[in-house]
A and B are shown apart, each in its own frame.
Chain A
Amino acid sequence: MKNKFSLRRAVNNMNLVRFRFWFQIVAFLLIVYGGYAGLDLGNKLPTFACVYNSEGTGGKCYVGMLQHDLKHPLETFAGYAGYAFLISLGMFIVWFWVLNKGWCGFVCPLGTMQDWLSMLRGKMKIGYSEYSWANREKIKSVKYILLILLLLLPVMIANSVFGLPKLPNGLSMPFCDICPGRMMIPAFTGDFNQFYIDFSSKTDIVMTTLGMIVSGLFLVGSFIKKRFFCYFCPMAALQYIFSKPALLKLNKEGSKCTRCGDCYRACDMDILEIADDVTSKNLVTEDCTLCLKCVAACPEEGCLEAAFMGKTIFESTKEGFLLRMAMDQRGEKHGN
């Protein structure tokens, strides 16, 4: 009996920051360089495995694929293309259900890059900034607007919607054009070719310029604000639509919560609900990246937990908290 519990105890006592750091590195290697080793996880991945990193990528991002799929005359969706589209979407959802938003917190290479920049900032002892709660609330809708645009624009290239003229072909991958991943990820394989402004048409000039600006913002933004880009990520918006039935969950037992706010302090996405909501069980909110830092920062026994298919895999414990905060012993470091 004691053995059975000691594995669980070891997991609950783990140093989540270190575990996640290494997990992210492995995931980064697989996603960004996996292609060199022949890895191909398909093109429905719910994470930014960038198609522009054509040689190295270990799979392809579904958001890129999705824009591509939608650039067809509407009639074709009534037939074979419609099924193909649904199958693609279905495969994306299946991938997504495995890790839920954990794709963001543990796998996404753009997320990982932002965490590295935050780490660098921390090492330089520079404080981070936060959005005001009011602004935080306002920017929530940006990712949905981006999602709608990236769904709508490709359709409007192939079709005349509401009698409007068709859009130029330069908008066929509108989000990829402005996605910082297009520049940052290939750069890790030594390919800096994506840093350019395309002068071939007006649309291309605008879109590639926007892309350059967004990449600049990405670097500066995520240096001063943790996970700066994730607030605006349309992939997060797309994922959240299907998040409810996912297998990996972040659960909260509200009656055990003292609302001390430790979880909120740890949250890179400043999600207020994690601390203040004492009635919901499922705490995977729209901006959650399932990084589990909140679970690691919670000092209440069994208040927060990560569960896979209903089975607890990692939960908050007093002991784990004390170990992670190095408050478990007097230690010579603590002496007067």
Chain B
Amino acid sequence: METEHTIETPHQRQNRHKAMEAISVLNALKEDFKFPIQSMGYFYDRFEKVYCHHEPLHEGKAKIGTMCIQIPSEIIYALDAVPIRLCNGFSTDDEIGSDLLPQKSCPLVKATVGWFASDNFFDKPDITFSPTTCDQKTKAGAIIESFGHTVIDVGFPRTKESEESRHYWRESVKSFAVKLSKFQGKKLTRSNLERAIKKVGYVQSLYHKLTEFRKNKAVPILGVDMFLVTNAFFFDRIDEWIGAVEKLVSELERRANDGVNVAGKASPRIIYTGSPPIFPNYKIPLIIEQSDAIIVADETCSSNRMFNDMAAVDEWNLYDMIDSVSDKYLKGCTCPIFTQNDDRIRRIIQLVRSYSGDGVIYQAFAGCQVYEMEQRSVLAAMEREGIPILYIESDYSPSQHGQLTTRVEAFVESLKNRKRKKK
């Protein structure tokens, strides 16, 4: 008998590895927790389709890669294109990127570079805009360009208090709009931008509705599920995402009325902050929620920071809309790349207060210098406020699972003790 032997190509192997990473996280989300949410099915399927079966979602549409959240998706949608956020959470891609970047680089940046290096996309961006946020993202743009991709830098200031910064960023956004408009051969108009701003505003309003439920005593949705929902917005078809989240909102409404609690009665409520959990790197959030704690809110750019602050337009004319969209991505942003970052500390404290958090878990990617550097000031501030905080460094490798679990479990246990003593 003769069997056919085929040798797996590097792309196939990469895809197989990524599918394995993806499915193991999806399975954990689906099966490890009590009271699964029906309408989460859409998101599990979507991620499986994209990351396990590598099915494209946006065939025939112009796909605009974005390296950070600061590229206004409003303008991309207005110009009839699709934003694809290229922040990457795959360990497989991280390994490929490791050969191209310094050893101590951020795994997220390595994974993004690795993704481009292998040129293995489900929805390949036609052009990529890279805001000059942190050093590593900024420099990664040029490396990605060297692989033959079109990458356009969008100047982003690193202070947000000054007038110069505000003007600089507004000009940057205008020039981004002009370049994209040329690329698309389409004019940015009052009506298409107004429509896009309101649509993205609606998207944000849905996110806010979801988070409202997490303030309840009985929390109807897991933090990891929330991360999945927000991460889906990186690449999903916006209208389908909206439809799915609307369903999720109404299911959570029912669950809230019934008092469904996905956590235990004594489960400590965690505010998650630091480097962004991006699918499938849910290592720390999963450990937290598998250790009988529940993430009730987060301060990360893959979730809260992406949706929290909304654009307010005073005069619905092009000049004011572009400025208001620009301001939204600069002024409200709590990214640690900024020189001063009191706003981030204030945001974390406010989240702890309004979501009745018991403690904060601050996770930084090893190599994510800005988060590592800001750790001290955040820890000091939490100490002042009497808020327990755990600082963890991790990366994309699956190796330190045991050690991380021990640390998280110990922290969760101490929070439980604290809670008991309070009573």
A-B contact count (CB 8 A): 99
Whether the pair B314, A293 counts as a contact (CB closer than 8 A) is yes
Whether the pair B239, A336 counts as a contact (CB closer than 8 A) is yes
| Given A259-B332, A334-B202: A325 in contact with B312 (beta carbons within 8 A) | yes
- The residue among B190, B195, B238, B318 with the most chain A CB atoms within 10 A of its own CB is B195
Bound form: Cα–Cα A122–B316 in Å: 8
Q: For this complex, into which size category does the number of interface residues on chain A fall?
A: 35 or more
| Given A127-B319, A132-B163: A259 in contact with B343 (beta carbons within 8 A) | yes
Report B277-321 CB contacts with A as 1/0, cut-off 8 Å.
000000000000000000000000000000011111111011110
Whether the pair A260, B328 counts as a contact (CB closer than 8 A) is yes
Q: Which residue of B lies closest to A294 (CB)?
A: B312
Chain B contacts of A260 at CB under 8 A?
Answer: 309-310, 327-328, 331-332
Report A311-336 CB contacts with B as 1/0, cut-off 8 Å.
00000001001100111111101111
Chain A contacts of B199 at CB under 8 A?
Answer: 330, 334
B201 within 8 A of A: yes
Distance (Å) between the CB of B253 and the closest chain A CB?
Answer: 15
Whether the pair A122, B331 counts as a contact (CB closer than 8 A) is no
Report B330-361 CB contacts with A as 1/0, cut-off 8 Å.
01101000000001001101100100000000
21 sampled A-B residue pairs with Cβ under 8 A: A122-B315, A125-B318, A255-B346, A255-B350, A257-B346, A258-B332, A260-B331, A261-B332, A262-B324, A265-B314, A265-B324, A299-B310, A318-B205, A322-B205, A325-B201, A325-B311, A325-B313, A327-B198, A329-B202, A334-B198, A336-B238
A246-272 at interface with B (beta carbon < 8 Å):
255-263, 265-266
Chain B contacts of A325 at CB under 8 A?
Answer: 198, 201, 310-313
Interface residues of B (CB under 8 A from A): 161, 163, 190, 195, 198-199, 201-202, 204-205, 208, 238-239, 242, 246, 308-315, 317-320, 323-324, 327-328, 331-332, 334, 343, 346-347, 349-350, 353
Distance (Å) between the CB of B95 and the closest chain A CB?
Answer: 37
Interface residues of A (CB under 8 A from B): 122, 125, 127-128, 132-133, 255-263, 265-266, 275-276, 278, 293, 297-299, 318, 321-322, 325-331, 333-336
Q: Which residue of B lies closest to A226 (CB)?
A: B314
- The residue among B309, B318, B334, B347 with the most chain A CB atoms within 10 A of its own CB is B309
Q: Which of A265, A275, A297, A327 contacts B204 (CB 8 A)?
A: A327
Bound form: Cα–Cα A125–B331 in Å: 25
Whether the pair A327, B310 counts as a contact (CB closer than 8 A) is yes
Whether the pair B317, A125 counts as a contact (CB closer than 8 A) is yes
Q: Which residue of B lies closest to A263 (CB)?
A: B312
**Apart from the given pairs A255-B346, A262-B327, 16 other A-B contacts in the complex at a CB distance below 8 Å:** A128-B315, A132-B163, A256-B350, A259-B331, A259-B332, A265-B327, A297-B314, A299-B310, A321-B310, A322-B205, A325-B313, A326-B201, A330-B202, A333-B198, A335-B239, A336-B238
Chain B contacts of A297 at CB under 8 A?
Answer: 312, 314
Chain A contacts of B353 at CB under 8 A?
Answer: 255
Q: Which residue of B lies closest to A325 (CB)?
A: B201
Q: Can you list the 4 inter-chain pairs with the closest CB atoms, starting with the nearest?
A: A327-B201, A260-B332, A262-B312, A261-B331
Q: Which of A125, A265, A335, A336 contacts B312 (CB 8 A)?
A: A265
Whether the pair A122, B327 counts as a contact (CB closer than 8 A) is no
- The residue among A133, A263, A325 with the most chain B CB atoms within 10 A of its own CB is A325
Q: Which residue of A lies closest to B242 (CB)?
A: A330
Chain B contacts of A278 at CB under 8 A?
Answer: 346
Chain B contacts of A298 at CB under 8 A?
Answer: 312
Chain B contacts of A255 at CB under 8 A?
Answer: 346, 349-350, 353
Chain A contacts of B310 at CB under 8 A?
Answer: 260, 262, 299, 321, 325, 327
Chain A contacts of B204 at CB under 8 A?
Answer: 327
Q: Which residue of A lies closest to B312 (CB)?
A: A262
Bound form: Cα–Cα A329–B199 in Å: 8
Chain B contacts of A321 at CB under 8 A?
Answer: 310, 312
Chain A contacts of B328 at CB under 8 A?
Answer: 260
| Given A255-B346, A258-B332: A266 in contact with B205 (beta carbons within 8 A) | no
Bound form: Cα–Cα A132–B162 in Å: 11
| Given A262-B310, A299-B309, A321-B312: A275 in contact with B331 (beta carbons within 8 A) | yes
Q: Which residue of A lies closest to B324 (CB)?
A: A265
Whether the pair A258, B198 counts as a contact (CB closer than 8 A) is no
Q: Which residue of A lies closest to B328 (CB)?
A: A260
Bound form: Cα–Cα A255–B352 in Å: 12
Chain A contacts of B161 at CB under 8 A?
Answer: 276
Chain B contacts of A326 at CB under 8 A?
Answer: 198, 201
Distance (Å) between the CB of B383 and the closest chain A CB?
Answer: 18
Q: Which residue of A lies closest to B318 (CB)?
A: A125
Whether the pair A122, B242 counts as a contact (CB closer than 8 A) is no
| Given A258-B309, A293-B314, A322-B205: A127 in contact with B332 (beta carbons within 8 A) | no
Distance (Å) between the CB of B64 and the closest chain A CB?
Answer: 16
Chain A contacts of B202 at CB under 8 A?
Answer: 327-331, 334
Whether the pair B205, A328 counts as a contact (CB closer than 8 A) is yes
Bound form: Cα–Cα A327–B320 in Å: 17
Q: Which residue of A lies closest to B205 (CB)?
A: A322
Q: Which of A127, A257, A336 contacts B317 (CB 8 A)?
A: A127
Distance (Å) between the CB of A308 and the closest chain B CB?
Answer: 25
Chain B contacts of A257 at CB under 8 A?
Answer: 346
Bound form: Cα–Cα A322–B274 in Å: 29
Whether the pair B347, A266 counts as a contact (CB closer than 8 A) is no
Q: Which residue of B lies closest to A275 (CB)?
A: B331
Whether the pair B349, A266 counts as a contact (CB closer than 8 A) is no
Whether the pair B315, A331 counts as a contact (CB closer than 8 A) is no
Whether the pair B331, A299 counts as a contact (CB closer than 8 A) is no
Bound form: Cα–Cα A335–B195 in Å: 8
Distance (Å) between the CB of A335 and the closest chain B CB?
Answer: 7
Q: Which residue of A lies closest to B162 (CB)?
A: A133
Chain A contacts of B239 at CB under 8 A?
Answer: 335-336
Q: Which residue of A lies closest to B314 (CB)?
A: A266
